[in-house]
Amino acid sequence: MASKAAAFHAWASGFGVPAYPAASVPERARMPYLTYSFGSAAWGEQPFAVEADLWYPAESGEAAANAKAEEIGAALGSCGSVLRCDGGAMRVLRGSPFWQAARDEDPAVLRRFINLDIEFYTND
């Protein structure tokens, strides 16, 4: 099995763009890519809110960034995705609002802010 963080990273990396923890984006990362914040909780605790951001070059156009956000939403559906991990599982769900366009300081960058909730079914 994988740790919670490794299981989430594998899931986030499954959408055809590189995924990085928000605090660990390589200096030479090329867009498009996805960044995420991740933390941990245990069985019975409130769902953990996770922020993910899609980063696209503006020349790729709004449609490409929007389509990738919608692809992630479609993968989650209405019931979420269950990820197996050490000590049990976790379920990634659509947060509310699920995604929205966010203005970046650099006009050459498009960003899609994605809200996720994670329910943990682990003892730690």
CATH class assigned to 4-122: alpha beta
Domain ranges of the chain: 4-122
How does pLDDT run along the chain (124 residues), one tens digit per residue? 899 999 999 999 999 999 999 999 999 999 999 999 998 888 888 888 999 999 999 999 999 999 999 999 999 999 999 999 999 999 999 999 999 999 888 999 999 999 999 999 998 8
Helix (H) or strand (E) segment spanning residue 111: strand 109-122
For the range 59-68, what are the long-range contacts, defined as Cβ-Cβ under 8 Å and sequence gap of 24 or more? 59/108, 60/31, 60/32, 60/110, 62/101, 62/110, 64/32, 65/32, 65/101, 65/110, 65/111, 65/112, 66/101, 66/112, 68/15, 68/16, 68/17, 68/32, 68/112
Strands of 45-108, DSSP E: 48-57, 81-85, 88-103
